[in-house]
Amino acid sequence: MMNQREARHRYRQNQNKNQNSFAANSIMDTGLLNYELVRPGLLSKLVCLDEIGSTNEFASAHSFPSDTLIVTTNQTCGKGRFGRKWFSDPGKNIAMTLVRNYSLGIDEIHCVSFYSSLILLKSLVKICGSSAKDFSLKWPNDLLLKGKKVSGFLLDTKDLRSAEKKISVGLGINVNQELFDEEIKHKATSLLLDAGKEFDTDEIIIRFVTDFYATLHLINDHTSLMLQWKDNCGHIGKKIMFRLLADGEEYPALVKDILPDGSLRLQLEDGNEKSFYSGEVSVAY
Ligand code: BTN
């Protein structure tokens, strides 16, 4: 009988023979990712790219089947929220987009975003062996490590009128980046900067995707999902600065809650409470 190592080797050889046309010379171990994620049936397609402008844009430009993962460690023109750029040093970090069809109502799409950030938090706690308290979630879907951003999410949607909605979850994880630009270094970090050691990007990709598929039912269990998300959110009950638009003014507010519809419930300076569906929170740590 073949042992696991041989099976993996055989699988790698086969994968390399039938190599996906996007995957040549990837610095990621495409064979290993295929073995761990495609072979067990989690992903239907894996696209490993040596270099790409944006994994989200690449996903939008193609018609990939549900459960396709597009991944690179060299994203050159990453897109962030509010039309910002997402910067990443070549070969250091993970940029990936998971394309999937979800049977959800329009008013439930936010659950995919909350679910994805919650799962990444759980996966990184396992990989880093650090305290769960070191990682926290910032509304609507940033992942912070000791108060600095270590990962960001950007969702693109298609087929919003049909029952099955195609949602691309794009996530960038700062893994082995050592330096950040002057303007963001006070608020951005990487796993390496925190732990003082390098992390294996393949291991993180495998952990995240495996965890993502293991508890998919949570997306439909809104109460439990939001309770878990709020349990890991660092700013409920705290004073924050809130900005509604990217170039808009920041104003102080008290975070009262995150409601089941995904909105942020704030108490404004005049004492009135209001719910927001988009915007940006800054937290002073
Ligand atoms: C943000 O916090 O502003 C969101 C950042 C999202 C970045 C990821 S990296 C992979 C995917 N492809 C992109 O172009 N953007 C997302």
Ligand 1, atom 3: nearest CA belongs to which residue? 80
Q: Rounded to an integer, what distance in angstroms lies between the CA atom of residue 116 and that of residue 19?
A: 29
Ligand 1 pocket, residue 97 CB under 6 Å: yes
- 194 close to 135: Cβ distance less than 8 angstroms: no
- The mean pLDDT of 255-282, rounded to a whole number, is 95
Q: What was the pLDDT predicted at 284?
A: 66
Ligand 1 pocket, residue 136 CB under 6 Å: no
Q: Rounded to an integer, what distance in angstroms lies between the CA atom of residue 285 and that of residue 98?
A: 32
Q: What was the pLDDT predicted at 237?
A: 94
* CA nearest to 262, candidates 161, 153, 129, 176: 153
Task: Give the model's confidence band at 17: pLDDT under 50 very low, under 70 low, under 90 confident, else very high.
Answer: very low
- 114 close to 141: Cβ distance less than 8 angstroms: yes
Which atom of ligand 1 approaches the CA of 54 most closely?
A: 14
Q: What is the 3-state secondary structure (H, E, C) of 169-221?
A: EEEEECCCCCCCCCCCCCCECCHHHHHCCCCCHHHHHHHHHHHHHHCHHHHHC
The Å distance, Cα 221 to ligand 1 centre, comes to 26
Is the peptide bond preceding residue 140 cis, with omega within 30 degrees of 0? yes
45-83 pLDDT, tens per residue?
A: 999 999 999 999 999 999 999 999 999 999 999 999 999
Task: Give the model's confidence band at 161: pLDDT under 50 very low, under 70 low, under 90 confident, else very high.
Answer: confident
Q: Rounded to an integer, what distance in angstroms lies between the CA atom of residue 94 and that of residue 72?
A: 6
Show the tokens assigned to 190.
């990487």
Task: Give the model's confidence band at 16: pLDDT under 50 very low, under 70 low, under 90 confident, else very high.
Answer: very low
Asked if the model's pLDDT at residue 199 lies above 90, the reply is: yes
Q: 192 CB contacts (<8 Å, ≥6 apart)?
A: 175, 176, 177, 178, 198, 199
Q: What was the pLDDT predicted at 8?
A: 56
Ligand 1 pocket, residue 152 CB under 6 Å: yes
Percentage of the residues of the chain whose pLDDT score is greater than 90? 82
The Å distance, Cα 152 to ligand 1 centre, comes to 6
Ligand 1 pocket, residue 154 CB under 6 Å: yes
